[in-house]
Structure 1
Amino acid sequence: MSAVFSSRSGQDHVASWYADSVPAQPLRAPLAGELDTDVCVLGAGYTGLSAALSLAERGFRVVVLEAQRVGWGASGRNGGQAIVGYGCEVDTLEALVGADDARHLFDFSREGMALLRHRLQRYQIDCDWRDGHASVPIRPRQERTLRAGMIELAERYDYPLQWWDRQQLREQLDSPRYSGAMFDAASGHLHPLAYAQGLARAAEQQGVVILEQSPVLQLIRGPRPQLRTAHGTVSADHVVIAGNALLQGIAPELEARIMPVGTYIGATPVLGAERARGLIHNDMAVADVSWALDYFRLSADHRLLFGGRASYSALPPPGLRGVMTRRMHQVFPQLADVAMEQVWGGYVDITRNRAPDWGRLTPNVYYAQGFSGHGVAATGLAGAVLAEAIAGQNERIDVFERIPHRRFPGGRLLRTPLLVAAMSWYKLRDVLW
């Protein structure tokens, strides 16, 4: 698993079912020499590509610098679940910014989901989109919390969801583990790497220049900021920082507000259409609501894709394939004869409050980070919000900038051990309550 977390320049995608199931893409040229453009974007994941596409649709000249390949980080390795909302609940947003802005933020997230669906259709991005997402409780406390949240979303946010009791859930999900489900028909799931590659093609169709194998070494701030690599420099009127968990010294004040967290997913062998649909009849995505959560869905070729086992120490857990297989068997005992065929992972970035951290580092340097495991849909929104601000429309970015964010305690040396200790408490709470 060590290659999963490598950040050396020039690597192709890490080994995964995602990488194996899409056509190989020609390597784009790296940066060589001096370039001048309207906007330079650091990072060719969902955030950077979405920002580049939104800007190009508005007529801006855009250059994207990517240290590895398009979608090399979390955008090409994640669980593929596209969910309305953010990494925190609406009551957290209300506590941070008040009820009015919390409502604005939630409505923005719904627009982000609509934008995702629009782009899949407009640019003919084939990424195996499927409708439907279920949040499932294991313990009575979790069910009470889900039900209360569902009522709040319906009554105060005009966002109706469905509650399925155990019997209704078992008609769609053949697992004895869960007591019910909060079902969201507006959310869904997709093939992460195919989506990233589709966004890149769409951006290039609009004139965006994407340069791979071009790790940024330095951000030079000023009236016309620059991004420097070992082999060239891009000067621009505006810069967008979209490195998320992989910034590595480019903007220390941003890095201090996020924590890279290792997360993992695996794929079974092909189960066949009948056996796969016997597990999840309606082909929805599913996630439980524990701190150490499990999430799963079916692939287009009838595998079970099963994720979980986050590592807050940023080190891959020992015996990962066996651990993931045992967790899968807890959810689906009928797969006792099936083991994970592949397991992979990578970093996501979390904030202390799990709320999104988007805004302006300087008047001409913009950023979006802190998706906290909910970035598939929210990154498209982030790109649109940043593009609006660069074009002079600040209404939405101003709302996001009102969300307060604090550094992780402990600095570089101690912040990871402190987070490990805190997460151990939440995992214990999942077991005891």
Structure 2
Amino acid sequence: MSKHVDSYYAATANNKEDYPVLRQDLECDVCIVGAGFSGLSAGLHLAEQGFKVVILESVKVGFGATGRNGGQIVNSYSRDVDVIEKRYDKKTAQALCNMIFEGGDIIRQRIEQYNIDCDHRAGGLFTALNHKQFEALKHHKQNWERYGHTELTLLDGEELKSCVGTDVYQGGLLDMTGGHIHPLNLALGEAAAIVSLGGQIFEHSAVTRIEKGAKPVAHTEHGSVKAQYLLLAGNAYLGDLAPNVTNKAIPCGTQVIATEPLSQDLADELLPQRYCVEDCNYLLDYFRITADNRMLFGGGVVYGAREPASIEREIRPKMEKVFPQLQEIKLDYAWSGNFLLTYSRMPQFGHFSNNIYYLQGYSGHGVTCTHLAGKLLAEALQGNTERFDAFASLTHLAFPGGRHLQIPLTAMGAAYYNLRDKLAI
């Protein structure tokens, strides 16, 4: 049977045991397709409210982006306050912006409530490579403060050097409600919490077809689940199960490397406070020090989720540009994973046939937003639909170019913005 990709997270997972394969016909209140953060968050919120939950996972809990990402707790969405307030009506924008910090709060609450061992560290930095980006961070800080954020500190270039051992940045913004985690261990802890509340999880149980009706049925190779509600939470790994859900987003790949364990002195030189970092470029780099003192560094996007010929050749030069100190350091892990990109860069929540819901399209901001999404889904199934509907009301357009041209055209657009970043215009 398929396992996790060969990543640092899989190698250091707290629990490597398998959940069973579905080999029977079940009935429940809510059947969830996908055991990533979206499905786990929804499942845990629902189980806490007394719903009978069954989760069907095609491979392993956290197999997709959930178990492969940079592990950073980053507030808001892939489009932030300024874009949201310009793009949407006042009521919708207010509702969306009022929720931008909630996902991180949910993660911290889950860690504490269920005693999840996932190497949580507080503190995240946004770093500016030029004056234009630093001015944007000032605006960013003001926007978040308008919505009640009080734990932000703007750092000039010299102040930032006390947090990041490099000369490449001109300043940064420290968010102490940001931070980082071992994402796969967080997912495994949430899965265990669901089971402790009576929920059921089945791995290696891919859903092959959906039968619509008053009680939809999810069919697998060896069984089925009939439910009052069905939630599609496969995100970039949903495949062709529901084309009406996946036809307005494209899967994209991102790559991550992890070094051998660094000496304590070197780790302290690079990131003394152990804050995580992401820069302000359109195609951004992100990095952090793990609990066992490895540099974990990721960046770039491969549109269409193709595997690059060499992840090390793709990412290592980025790491060494920021940290020349790591030129002789050995890499122990290199992996890629897919996330789902929407044209608007806003997540896609909604439902069809009245009882089939979906959560997807976090566009690179999935760690926190998935946890918010699960809570909103649970609220909606309990009759409180206002906050879920704020997202469901958003218009989502398909990428231009149709099935054959949308990926190259999107890549061309990204190259344009990447050039603007390099030229600081």
TM-score (norm 1): 0.95
1:291 paired residue number = 282
Shift of 1:153: 2.3
d(CA) in 1 for partners of 2:412, 2:290: 35
What is the identity, as a one-letter code, of the residue corresponding to 1:82?
A: I
* 1:363 maps to 2:350: no
Shift of 1:121: 0.4
Percent of counterpart pairs with the same letter? Answer: 39
Deviations 1:129-157 (A, max 9, x none): 00011111112221222212222222x32
* 1:215 maps to 2:241: no
d(CA) in 1 for partners of 2:197, 2:255: 34
Shift of 1:261: 0.5
d(CA) in 2 for partners of 1:339, 1:144: 36
1:270 paired residue number = 261
d(CA) in 2 for partners of 1:429, 1:176: 21
* 1:351 maps to 2:373: no
d(CA) in 2 for partners of 1:289, 1:254: 30
Which residue, out of 343, 366, 369, partners 1:378?
Answer: 369
What is the identity, as a one-letter code, of the residue corresponding to 1:269?
A: E
Asked if the contact 2:256–2:311 (Cα under 8 Å) also holds between the matched residues in 1, the reply is: no
1:331 paired residue number = 322
SS of 1:204's partner is helix
* 1:184 maps to 2:175: yes
* 1:416 maps to 2:407: yes
d(CA) in 2 for partners of 1:38, 1:191: 31
Shift of 1:230: 1.6
Q: Which deviates more, 366-375 or 107-116?
A: 107-116
2:27 paired residue number = 36
TM-score (norm 2): 0.97
2:232 paired residue number = 241
Structure 2: give runs of 5+ residues left out of the alignment: none
d(CA) in 2 for partners of 1:261, 1:430: 20
Which residue, out of 227, 238, 260, partners 2:251?
Answer: 260
The 5 A counterparts of 1:12-411 are 12-154=3-145, 156-160=146-150, 161-411=152-402
Deviations 1:34-64 (A, max 9, x none): 1111110000001101111111100010100
What is the identity, as a one-letter code, of the residue corresponding to 1:127?
A: C
What is the identity, as a one-letter code, of the residue corresponding to 1:289?
A: C
Shift of 1:413: 2.4
What is the identity, as a one-letter code, of the residue corresponding to 2:393?
A: R
Asked if the contact 1:64–1:211 (Cα under 8 Å) also holds between the matched residues in 2, the reply is: yes
d(CA) in 2 for partners of 1:318, 1:425: 23
Question: What is the RMSD computed on CA atoms of the aligned residues?
Answer: 1.4
What is the identity, as a one-letter code, of the residue corresponding to 1:347?
A: N
Question: Runs of 4 or more off by more than 3 Å in structure 1?
Answer: none
What is the identity, as a one-letter code, of the residue corresponding to 1:265?
A: V
Shift of 1:106: 2.5
Asked if the contact 2:236–2:339 (Cα under 8 Å) also holds between the matched residues in 1, the reply is: yes
What is the identity, as a one-letter code, of the residue corresponding to 1:419?
A: T
Asked if the contact 2:250–2:304 (Cα under 8 Å) also holds between the matched residues in 1, the reply is: no
Deviations 1:3-50 (A, max 9, x none): xxxxxxx31100011111124522111111311111100000011011
